[in-house]
Copies of this chain bind each other. A is one copy, B any other.
Amino acid sequence: MATMADIAERAGVALSTVSYVLSGKRSVSEETKQRVFRAIAELDYQPNALARGLASRRTRTIGLVFPSLTKGHSEMRMEFVARAAEVAAEHGYAFLLWTAPDSDLELLQLTQQGRVDGLILMEIRLHDSRVDLLKERKYPFTMIGRCQDNDGISFVDLDFEHAVATAVAHLAELGHRQIVLLNHSAELLEVGYGPSVRSLQGFERAVGQHGIAGVAVTSEPSAQSGYAVTQALLAQHPDLSAAIVPQETALVGMIRALNDAGLRVPDDFSIVTLLSARQAELVTPALTSVDFPADEMGRIGAELLIQQLEGQIDRPIQRLLRANLTVRHSSGAYYARSR
């Protein structure tokens, strides 16, 4: 493998000149440039990223701390990842996927290994020790999600309160008087997982404003759990006629429980999902949804980090996105209109 020294020798210039031709950090005569470029082409030279990183103290690599699979990865999370990786590449950055450290210590170690210039964090809790850690060390990072206190941190998040309120308003307008929020797992709510907590807050406020009855329950992320929870709900609240469901797995269980109870969706029971458009398209029957802008969040998360690393911003940028509600119908006529 050719090195910079090989190029310098072949082009008959100093090693540093090759470096400067490549970086453009000082002017080089056109003729010299051409000689260098020719040598590079002839020797099929490609700069060594490690040596570059070591000398410049910049790796041009960003990392994303990725929640472990075993916790049940949602399609949404993967949309963040895929889009963030793509954006990184567009900006000339490599993308390191780091499965979630069990302890904050491991996260700290990652930051000390010099593999990446900065990190994207996701699955943020209202009070998150990882955030405190990185903040204290002044390590560059952005969040997909947000804490309670976000002073000095760039993030992109969905306005869950608004999203759920939108769903409630839609159902209230359809005439529903008693609706349920099938929230994420009880565990997530307890540890202060932002989306869970804020969805619940938005739900309670909105049902109050619309003067309708609201029941909030949690479900594990599985069809089994969604099925069981729905059965219990139907028994306890026979007047329920609609649900807001922010998770795909429990949603499937709910639909089957309703069907088994003789209720057809959406004729006898309305459901509004909170899913990415990609996911919502895959649900049968077609359901109205508040569209979680997952790829947009992945994109912005990566862009904010890169901007921060390149000193393009002097203070944190905090983006709180609002999701739109898309009314979907089960009939194939839908396809004709949506084309």
Contact = CB atoms under 8 A, between A and B. Distances in A.
A237 interface: no
A248 interface: yes
Given A97-B95, A282-B282, A256 B332 contact: yes
A302 to B, nearest CB: 12
Interface residues of A, number: 63
B94 A99 contact: no
Contacts of A223: 281-282, 335
A95 B283 CA distance: 32
A29 B90 CA distance: 50
Contacts of A338: 224
Contacts of A283: 252, 284
A114 interface: yes
Contacts of A320: none
A86 B99 CA distance: 6
Contacts of A94: 96, 98, 115
Contact of A78 (B44, B75, B227): B75
B96 A83 contact: no
A284 B284 contact: yes
Interface string A24-50: 000000000000000000001011111
Interface of A: 1, 44, 46-51, 53-54, 59, 61, 66, 68-69, 73, 75, 78, 81-83, 85-86, 89, 94-99, 109, 112-115, 223-224, 227-228, 231, 248-249, 252-253, 255-257, 259-260, 281-286, 295, 330-332, 334-335, 338-339
